[in-house]
Structure 1
């Protein structure tokens, strides 16, 4: 599985703040015991909180990624436009994954209710929006990590049913 990470942040893009959540996502993917994945070279990409810039990064990464994970831009601020950018390019929503991610985070903090994160599919690429904090990235990753192998196998039409059978036995 090929994974790209996109950090959405005006201040990180401008160089006035260090991106911590993007590198944390790269680390989580690289060290995962549940997901057989490699992070694409150049990840994380850092873009400003701008619909066009976010969409361009997503579309470019769709060319060579099975999964794109964004971090940042999912809150209530007027500059938080990652969900809007994502909604314009995904072809199908993945509401079950959205609910799973929100539910897992809500168990830890009520502030998770303020995330507008979207998960959807474009072609055979799964796009996952996560909040911008390192803590939230870790929580959200733990919520989606167990199902990613099966999800990508289904998107690639490569699942012969064994992955589903393994999941049902747990």
Structure 2
């Protein structure tokens, strides 16, 4: 397992045990070997930095497209690191090595199919090949795990679609209270009666 370079993991977030931990996992054979620049992980990190206003810290990984490695990483981030949200990028297409959804489903306590459905719907408005994408989301313990595509533009489009529901999902899992920069994105939470 390869750790993300300092530029990704050393961000200006306050270190506090009560703050949210968010896992960012790039699944790519070439990026994990250093043959290809990881653009997906930094795109997720930049997005979260722009959208979240509450304190949080990232736990980032770059790993190969190996089923056992993806499973081990998702378990580590949810069970040991106690991440409330784990966002993956890469490995969601139909190619032989694209196995991120299979790994994600294998660690799931509950499947959250609405996330994948909405991401595909939004992406289909941009490109017809979005039908080939197999993004999904699951719950494992207290963590929401969301699979994203690998391209930075598609990452932003998909997160813009699903992120309004993510803070409330984390609330329902009894995780940390995630607040958003409402000038950028408004999180939906039901009004209290």
TM-score, normalised to structure 1's length? 0.88
Does 2:79 align with 1:58? no
Q: Residue 47 of structure 2 aligns with which residue?
A: 28
Q: Hey, which bits of structure 1, 4+ residues long, moved more than 3 A?
A: none
Q: Residue 15 of structure 2 aligns with which residue?
A: none
Q: Distance in 1 between matches of 2:173 and 2:155?
A: 24
Does 2:35 align with 1:9? no
Aligned partners of 1:20 and 1:134 also within 8 Å: yes
Gaps of at least 5 residues in structure 2 are 1-19, 178-187
Structure holding more helix per residue: 1
Gaps of at least 5 residues in structure 1 are none
Does 2:159 align with 1:133? no
Q: CA deviation at 1:158?
A: 8.2
Residue 157 to residue 16, structure 1, CA distance change in 2 (3 Å): closer
SS at match of 1:120: strand
Q: Residue 120 of structure 1 aligns with which residue?
A: 138
Q: Distance in 2 between matches of 1:150 and 1:10?
A: 34
TM-score, normalised to structure 2's length? 0.78
